Structure 1
Amino acid sequence: MRFINPKTDYAFKKIFGSEQSQDILISFLNAVLYEGNSTIRELEILNPHLGPRIRGFKDTYLDIKATIADSHGQTETVIIEMQVLNVEGFQKRILYNAAKTYSNQLAIGDGYTDLQPVIALTIVDFEMFPELDQLISRFVLKERTYLTDYSSIYDIELVFIELPKFQKELPDLETLMDKWLYFLKAARKLESVPPSMEAVPEIQKAFAIANQANLNAQELDELEHQEIFIQDQRNSIRKALSQGIEQGIEQGIEQGKLAAQRAIAQQLLGVLDDETISRTTGLDLEAIAQLRTDDSLNP
């Protein structure tokens, strides 16, 4: 058997976001949000599109948006996205989508007490927070100095899973979360369903959906185009990094370390966000913002 790459947009939606995938999504969310406990009892997959569009973004959409109800009757909205490239504006888009989903709950005449929590779950195929060791990072509203919670419930929670930090191999899988993350990371390379994963009905079903034999020619063509696009974008980033480093070294010999850093950052403006450029070059965010201003004044 050959399996499609679950990390591509089309495959991710097909596996986790279709009407017949509710049990798969419940199992996945219980695994990564609730430590494998059967917290989610019911789930409804909603319309994934948001409007209006924002200037500067090609699309303002959510990969999957669902309403979940737990065993205590608490209702929450969870928005799930798989992101394979660290593109400019990505982090702001996540926050925007979460805030918009939170505010859109109210109709005219509704009270603020009707607002239910929103969880934005984002799985990324790159390291977002290299300074943090944990695989999953959860951000909520807290007081800056004393870290006191803003409210008794987390109205908006941003959850990030960094797949490169998941290093377990097949013999090391223990928890339900381990198995789901291994599915996301390694399914494309497998030739059969591992027995330990086949024992989980929802994961077995996910493998069946991901089996290339169950896809038609149009679906396979769409997947191939997405894979090519992702690879082209990654190659563009590598090329920019390589050119930037080479140019930076040459200029650095003549002009010093700061000029070298600026030269590298200049090459990366069109392909990486400011925080990633800062981590790559060592320049602070203010200096990078100034480079963007200078670049916009020199068409």
Structure 2
Amino acid sequence: MRFISPKSDFAFKKIFGSNRSKKILISFLNAIVYEGKNTIKSLEIIDPYNPGSTRTLKDTYLDIRAVLDNGSTVIIEMQVLNVEAFEKRVIYNIAKAYANQLDMGEQYTRLRPFIALSIADFLLFKNSSQMINRFRLKEEKQLFNYRDELTLIFLELPKFNKGLSELETLSDKWIYFLKAAPSLDRIPESLGAVSEIEEALTIASRANLSNQELEELHKQEVFIEDRRGEINFAKIEQNLKLISLVLEQKFGTINPVIMNKLEQLSLPNLDRLIEAILTFTSWEDVEGWLDD
């Protein structure tokens, strides 16, 4: 048995946003938004995904939208690529969605709270060890809330490193599902014990997809890999320019041997070099770092 990755736009919508996904989405949101508490009893998925309804690879920023039983609306985005101005886009989307509740002349009392849940397959807050970070409008010194109308929640998948035998909480199991579903060859007992996760894995089974859905999934996977390559190439070019500029300002013209070594560095190593470069006092320091 093989499972599709929930991280693609197509798969995420099919698993969490289809007509059969209400119980799945309730369990997932209770785990991530409400820290495992059984807060949400029911919800209504807005514009649910139906097989064959998605035809193109257009950018869809709001993957799923649902109205909860307490009147709040949650908008969920699965983001696999660290695109420019992602954080600004999150703020724009929730502000726009909140404002669009009212037509001209309607009373502000009709406004209901909004929650934006952003799931990132990359690091956003490198200075925070927390995997899930929550933001609201607060008074600057005393930190009390200015109405709980807008809540931003970010889940950073790379910060989750638990194995199957280490899963304890409902949120652990859902996050493991998001990260590890494609590597599974069966439904593990610990995940199958949660009926909603078992159903999510059943939906994610490749055997249950039509040929059209498999083709669409393949197109999105290729698109994502191409975009990831483009983004990484652009970052490598940007880092090389910055490193070259700093080295030339500190030590003069870069000789071809060092330049060739710099051009062979991976993106993570270029990031490390940027952090180390200010400590160098000579070309010997640069060469020593590159040789190491």
What SS does structure 2 have at the residue aligned with 1:24? helix
- Give the match's secondary structure for 2:41: strand
Superposed CA offset, 1:118-156 (max 9, x none): 0000100000110111000111111223323112xx100
**Aligned residue runs from structure 1 range 185-264, under 5 A:** 185-256=179-250
Which position in structure 2 is the counterpart of 1:177?
171
- % same residue: 55
* Distance in 2 (alpha carbons) for counterparts of 1:128 and 1:86: 9
Rounded to whole Å, the distance in 1 between the matches of 2:226 and 2:59 is 19
- The one-letter code sitting in structure 2 at the alignment partner of 1:162 is E
Among residues 146, 149, 153, which one is paired with 1:150 in the alignment? Answer: 146
Residues 60 and 4 of structure 1: is their aligned pair in 2 closer, same or farther, counting only changes over 3 Å?
closer
TM-score (ref. length: structure 1): 0.77
- In the other structure, the counterpart of 1:110 is 106
Task: From 74, 93, 111, give the equivalent of 1:97.
Answer: 93
Instruction: Report the number of matched residues.
Output: 250
| 2:8 aligned partner | 8
Tell me the CA shift for residue 222 of structure 1: 1.1
Query: Structure 1: which amino acid aligns with 2:2?
Result: R
- Work out the CA distance in 2 between the residues paired with 1:248 and 1:140: 35
Shift of 1:228: 1.3
Q: 1:197 to 1:250 in 2, by over 3 A?
A: same
What is the match of residue 285 of structure 2?
A: none
Q: Partner of 1:40: helix, strand, or coil?
A: coil
Aligned to 2:172, the other structure's residue is in SS state helix
Which residue of 1 is the match for residue 156 of structure 2? 162
Q: Which residue of 2 aligns with 1:76?
A: 72
Which residue number corresponds to residue 115 of structure 2? 119
Counterpart CA distance in 2 for 1:59 and 1:238 is: 19
RMSD: 2.5
Superposition TM-score, scaled by structure 2 size? 0.79
Counterpart residue type for residue 21 of structure 1: S
Indicate the residue corresponding to 1:268 in structure 2.
none
Report the Cα distance in structure 2 between the residues aligned to 1:48 and 1:62, rounded to whole angstroms.
Answer: 12
Shift of 1:10: 0.3
Q: What is residue 137 of structure 2 aligned with on the other side? A: 141
Kindly report which structure 2 residues correspond to 1:25-104, keeping only aligned pairs within 5 A, or say none: 25-47=25-47, 59=59, 61-69=61-69, 74-104=70-100
TM-superposed deviation, 1:107: 3.2
Q: Which amino acid aligns with 2:120?
A: V
Aligned equivalents of 1:92, 1:10: Cα separation in 2: 24
1:108, CA displacement in angstroms? Answer: 4.1
Q: 1:246 & 1:60 partners in 2: Cα distance?
A: 32
How far the C-alpha of 1:255 sits from its partner, in A, is 2.0
**CA shift for structure 1 position 25:** 0.3
Shift of 1:92: 1.6
Query: d(CA) in 1 for partners of 2:73 and 2:122?
Result: 25
Paired residue secondary structure (1:138): strand
Q: Distance in 1 between matches of 2:6 and 2:24?
A: 13
Secondary structure of 1:11's counterpart equals helix
Paired with 1:7 and 1:179, the residues of 2 have a C-alpha distance of 16
Which residue identity lines up with residue 225 of structure 1 in the other structure? K
Of 158-167 and 139-148, the range deviating more from structure 2? 139-148
With over 3 angstroms needed to count, the CA separation of the structure-2 counterparts of 1:141 and 1:48, relative to structure 1, is farther
Report the structure number with the largest CA radius of gyration: 2
Q: Give, as a single letter, the amino acid of the residue that structure 2 aligns with 1:177.
A: S
Cα distance in 1 for residues equivalent to 2:132 and 2:272: 20
Report the Cα distance in structure 2 between the residues aligned to 1:280 and 1:147, rounded to whole angstroms: 38
In 2, Cα distance between equivalents of 1:76 and 1:250: 50
Question: For the residues of structure 1 that align with 2:78 and 2:272, how far apart are their CA atoms?
Answer: 23
